Amino acid sequence: MSKRTVTVIGLGPMGRAMAGVFLDAGYDVTVWNRTAGRAEELVARGAVEAGDLAAALEAGGPVLLSLIDVGAMYGTFGEADLNGKVLINLSSDTPEKARAGAHWAKERGASYLVGAFNIPPAGMGKPESSAFYSGPRELYDEHRELLAVLTTPDFRGEEPGLAALYYQINMIMFWTAMTGYWQAAAVAQANGLSTEDFLPYATYTADSMSNFIRFYAARIDANEHGGEVDRLTMCLSSVEHLTRTAADSGVDASVLQAHVNLFRSGVAAGHGADSSSSLVALLRR
């Protein structure tokens, strides 16, 4: 049997991308999906489609999972014999669910790593792409070369929930930022502008965010929220203005109103003269 062997279970867009990259790298790739009909292209490129789950598990090499969430793993494997298997679960889920999945796999005699991609399927196989991993360090080191075929691997620690935690933190930033962009685009269109009209300014604002993030990071960790740079009362006024702008434009402002409510809570809690970064402590409570 080839030493460069891998099995991919779950053939959604990410799973198909993973299998394709392994094929391009010369691996012997076995694929399986609970719903038939997703492996034709991969088989044409040289993959072997397992006839059933048992055959997929017996194909050899680590088993990489690309499922909708950790819960899908339980339904997929059922009572299958996992003793001695290496499972690398690259399905998105919460840190708590990741920990539960690791415990479940350990009880069944499997070695288990948690992974979380920081990319869409199109980024698979590119050196600038990355993924978080957590679990037993020895297991990670053993399979690091294989994981590096997919993306640059970033090991976050042996506690199994860490990869999911880092991923979800990133996704909190991503989706709230993208929601802001959807809101801005709606206001622009409501006022006769196209997204192209304000695109240079949108990208400038997005790029400048990295400077703010770096500036506030050390202050947040030190619990220093002095108002010499920004004051929460001024920030509240700003978010009230943009919320009214959206409403006056006939655009749903409910997402923006949630920001107003948060900022008002901060002021009411006595942080009006502090930096808006004081909201971190308020959110934690």
Task: Indicate if 195 and 150 belong to the same structural domain.
Answer: no
Q: Where a domain ends, among 143, 158, 173?
A: 158
User: Structurally, how many domains does the chain consist of?
Assistant: 2
Residue 51 pLDDT greater than 80, yes or no: yes
List the one residue out of 2, 145, 137, 134 whose CA is nearest residue 61.
2
- Residue 110: φ, ψ to 5°: -95, 150
Other CB atoms within 10 A of residue 281 CB: 15
| 117 belongs to a structural domain | yes
Please compute the mean of the pLDDT values over residues 212-224 and round it to a whole number. Answer: 95
Q: Provide the pLDDT for residue 55.
A: 95
Residue 221: its pLDDT value, please? 95
Any domain includes 173 = no
- 279, with CB counted inside 10 A (0-12, 13-18, 19+), is buried
Residue 172 within a domain: no
Same domain (yes/no): 203, 154: no
Indicate whether 148 and 207 sit together in one domain. no
> What share of the chain has pLDDT > 70, as a percent?
99
Same domain, 211 and 257: yes
Question: Do 245 and 153 belong to one domain?
Answer: no
Domain identity same for 50 and 132: yes
Do the domain assignments include residue 72? yes
Question: Taking 60 as the threshold, does the pLDDT of residue 99 lie above it?
Answer: yes
CB 195 within 8 A of CB 188: yes
Predicted confidence at residue 2, as pLDDT, reads 47
Strands (E), 118-203: 130-134, 152-157
Q: Give CA angle at 209 (203, 210), nearest 5°.
A: 110
Sign of CA dihedral 22, 23, 26, 29: positive
> Residue 154 belongs to what domain range?
5-158
Give residue 28's pLDDT. Answer: 96
Same-domain status, 142 and 217: no
Same domain? 280 vs 215: yes
Q: Are residues 230 and 117 in the same domain?
A: no
Q: Are residues 228 and 148 in the same domain?
A: no
Question: 207 and 147 in one domain?
Answer: no
- The CATH number of the domain holding residue 230 is 1.10.1040.10
Q: Residue 122 carries which side chain, given as an amino acid letter?
A: A
pLDDT digits (tens, 9 = 90+) for 143-185: 999 999 999 999 999 999 999 999 999 999 999 999 999 999 9
pLDDT of residue 87: 98
Is 50 exceeded by the pLDDT of residue 1? no
Which strands sit side by side in the sheet containing 130-134, from one edge to the other? 48-49, 28-32, 5-9, 63-65, 86-89, 111-117, 130-134, 152-157
Check which CATH number belongs to the domain holding 113 and give it: 3.40.50.720
In residues, how long is the chain? 285
Spatial distance between the Cα atoms of 247 and 243, rounded to a whole number of angstroms: 6
Nearest to 96 by CA among 132, 68, 66, 69: 69
Assess whether 152 and 212 both reside in one domain.
Answer: no
pLDDT band (50, 70, 90) for residue 3: low
